Amino acid sequence: MEKFEELSQEKQRRIIDAGMEVFGRNEYKKANTEDIAAKAGISKGLLFYYFKDKKSFYMYLFQYCVEIITRMMDDEDYTKITDFFELMEFGAQKKMQTMVEHPFILDFISRAFSSSREAVSKDVAMELHSLIDTTFDRYFAHVDFSKFNNDVDPKQVYQMLAWMTEGYMHDKLSYQESLNLKDIMRDFEEWKIMFKKISYKKEYQ
């Protein structure tokens, strides 16, 4: 991996994008490293010179995505929003901007979320659970939770929205449908309204 990091940023990005594109369009076991190498303009042998094996490359890409999401959250505007659902919407908009800058990240992350019985599934699941916990504590630190009904756990609402999004994306991928950001945002808006009615006290709905 050290050799990979010695490459120019342009070459690194080309290999990363190729990996995310191929892994995002295929299940892990069906993703062909020869296709990745071809798209990146390198040989398969060179790919494995940079990375020990297919799994280590995949997990590198996953961590790369996590770092992008973490950097996205390092925005002081997050601390200015105190409403849970407004913050969720703001975060969704930021994610859309990120997708424009990294066009293959959505399919890759969606495939990672929905992976099961794959060689990487256990590692990805552990990372995702850790990411959800860390994200909530950091992302919602300034939110006014007093708006919630007393019997509603905000963290569960966050997890349910994450699971709904995961299931939505999994269904799309199962039927080989492309993921459209505008459609996702439209559906997310409907879920947000529904959860707000269920979760918030009447005076805040």
Can you list the domains of the chain with their CATH numbers?
59-204 (1.10.357)
Q: How confident is the model at residue 175 (pLDDT cuts 50, 70, 90)?
A: low
pLDDT of residue 92: 77
pLDDT for position 7: 95
Residue 144 phi/psi, 5-degree rounding, is -85, 95
Q: How far apart (Å, rounded) are the C-alpha atoms in residues 97 and 163?
A: 22
* Mean pLDDT of the region 119-144: 78
CA-to-CA distance for 163 and 118, rounded, in angstroms?
19
Query: pLDDT band at 57, cuts 50/70/90?
Result: very high
Query: 54: closest CA among 26, 21, 23?
Result: 23
pLDDT given at position 202: 93
- Categorize the per-residue pLDDT at 166 as very low, low, confident or very high, splitting at 50, 70 and 90: low
